[in-house]
Structure formats: structure tokens, C-alpha cells
Amino acid sequence: MQAIVIAAPGGPEVLTLTDLPDPIPTAGEVLIRVQAFGVNHAEAYMRSGAWGEVAAVPGIECAGVVEADPSGALPVGTRVVALLGGMGRTRNGSYAERVTVPASNVVAVHSSLDWADLAAVPEVYATAWSGLFGNLDLQPGETVLVRGATSSLGQAAVNLAVDHGATVLGTTRNPAHAALLKELGATDVLVDDGALAAQARARGLAIDAVFDVVGNRVLRDSLALVRPRGRVCQLGFLGGFAPVQDFDPITDLPSGVRLSFFGSAFVLGTPAFPLTDVPLDQIYAKVQAGTLRARPTRVFRFDEIAEAHRVMEAGQALGKMVVVLG
């Protein structure tokens, strides 16, 4: 089969198309013929070496058809999506014509959306759903601020929160992107200068929850954004991996404010965080109906993967990008 491998840690140019033996599923795995896969920041971190030693083939999600399931649970030809389960990190991932995935990380889908549309959903929507409704326990009528809202994960969170009946505030570093977030349903957009708490106070905003994709660099500011007994969930590291210097819960964590982290790469598909909890079929139905704007912003060919990574790292994607095979 053809696969894209990381020739050596580095920039997008190290992604190399090569031939590898077809993978063979063992007990507890499913063999999938990949039709399309999403492009994610996690794969750029893996490619660059920021996450240390990783698998040769990147890719943390895909859409495709079952070629073999030793358990017999999924018939050959079943349309499925798969995400994480160590893909790209501890086992070869989805940047390939075929991939084996733990059965717990494979979900049959019943949507008639095309492969590109199917591939745009799994990782970001499963993560956004888990953060909003698992960690943050977001309720209709509450106000949630999505920090890093123009990212594909941030846009998924805006979509889901608006659909849930919450009031959504979005943030962006580029004022030109405010219109995009308002089209998604954000009531207001704040330009993120690193001091959003001061902006929120000046506007008299009462924020119940913060969905933070930016990460450690703005953690103190995110904690200061929410009302007393508010909630903050960190889900990404768009601001970099540097740790929070001298973080002291006594002075940095407001009394009663709840801080949590959701690391999809490590937990989705495990017994504590089963994919059956994520209503993917309902999400796909709402995408097809146009209720959720989750279709890809750009679609690349298999041999254009390096360009896809360049666009992503330049911040030019403004949504989810996917690669279609064939």
C-alpha cells in the first residue's frame, strides 16, 4: 500500500510518500481502507518532533470502509470513521491507504455524506462534544467563551454550543475573522490580546464557562474570565507547549472556579470515555441538514499532504482541512 511517512523530524517537506506492506488486523482491531482523513495540529506536532518519538505514519483520524474485522462485529464494506486509539503516536496512523485501529476507536456511520465531509468531523467534534458537555457540563442559556474559536476545534465548539442553546462568545487574534465566527452563531467576538479578562470586565460580560484551545500561555487569564463558580476546560496548545511558570493554586485559581483538561489523544475510545457517548450520527445528520457548518474548508489530494501542513501551520485553514485518496 501507499503511505505517507515522517522521513525525519522537521517541517512539512519531511512527509514522504512511500510503499509499505499492508497492515494485518489482530484480535481487537479493525482493518480500514481509508477513503479520506482530516488534517490536525496534533499531526504537525508529531511530524516536527515536539511530541518525541512517534509512529512512522502520522494521522489520528479517517473515514473509510471495513476490509476486515476479526471479531465479526463490523461486516466487510461497512462505512466507518476512526479516531485516535494511538494512531500516529504509538501505532501507524491514517495517512495511508489502509490502517488497523483498535475496535473501540471505530464507529459505523449511517450518513450519506461524501468521504470528505465524513472525514471533517470525527476528531474535532468528538473532542468538542466531550469538552463542552463532559468537562464543562454546558447548559442551555449559559454563556461560554471559546478561546481559539477560528481553529477547526474551536469552530466545532461554537457550532455545538450554539446548537445546544448556549450564548457563545468567540475569540480570534485577527479582527478580520470576526465575521466568520458571527456567521457560525457567536453573539460577540473578542480580539485576543492575552488579556481577555479585562475586556470581559469592561463589557460587563458574565461568562459561565471557557473552552480554551490556546492553552498554557493564557491559562491565568482564562481562569480570571469566568464568574464565581465558573468552569474552565483546556483542550489544546495553540499558544505553545511551554509550561505555566510558577503556577500557584492559592493565588492563580479563583476560589470555586473549576479547572479541567481534556486530552482526546489519550482517552477517547477508552472505557472511561467511550466513543458511543459521542452522538456522531446525530452530528452527521445536522451537518447534512446544514444546522452544523462542519464541511471542510479545503480538500487536498494524497500527494498534496505537505502543502496541507504548510497551510495549516500558516494559520490559513480557517476551518477543517481534509485529504481524499483516489
- If asked whether residues 85 and 180 sit together in one domain, one would say no
CA–CA separation, 101 and 89 (whole Å): 12
CA–CA separation, 146 and 246 (whole Å): 25
The CATH number that applies at residue 51 is: 3.90.180.10
CA 30 vs CA 64, 69, 261: distances in Å: 11, 5, 29
What domain range is 162 assigned to? 124-264
Domain assignment of residue 254, yes or no? yes
- If asked whether residues 103 and 201 sit together in one domain, one would say no
The CATH number that applies at residue 259 is: 3.40.50.720
What's the total number of domains in the chain? 2
- If asked whether residues 147 and 249 sit together in one domain, one would say yes
- If asked whether residues 95 and 162 sit together in one domain, one would say no
**Neighbour tally for 218: CB within 10 Å:** 26
Question: In which element (H, E) is residue 172 found?
Answer: strand 167-172
- If asked whether residues 92 and 135 sit together in one domain, one would say no
Domain assignment of residue 109, yes or no? yes
Decide: 170 and 205 in contact? Cβ < 8 Å. Answer: no
Segment-wise mean pLDDT, segments of 10 residues, the chain, 326 residues: 98 98 98 98 94 96 98 98 97 98 98 97 98 98 98 97 98 96 97 96 96 96 97 93 92 96 95 96 97 96 97 93 94
- If asked whether residues 152 and 116 sit together in one domain, one would say no
CA–CA separation, 211 and 308 (whole Å): 26
pLDDT of residue 289: 96
**Neighbour tally for 76: CB within 10 Å:** 11
Q: Residue 87: beta bridge partners?
A: 91
* pTM score of the predicted model: 0.96
pLDDT of residue 240: 86
pLDDT of residue 239: 87
Domain end marker among 264, 279, 307: 264
Domain assignment of residue 283, yes or no? no
- If asked whether residues 78 and 156 sit together in one domain, one would say no
Domain assignment of residue 281, yes or no? no
- If asked whether residues 252 and 131 sit together in one domain, one would say yes
Interstrand relation of 258-261 and 231-234 (parallel, antiparallel or unpaired): parallel
Angle value at C-alpha 216, between 252 and 261, nearest 5 degrees: 85
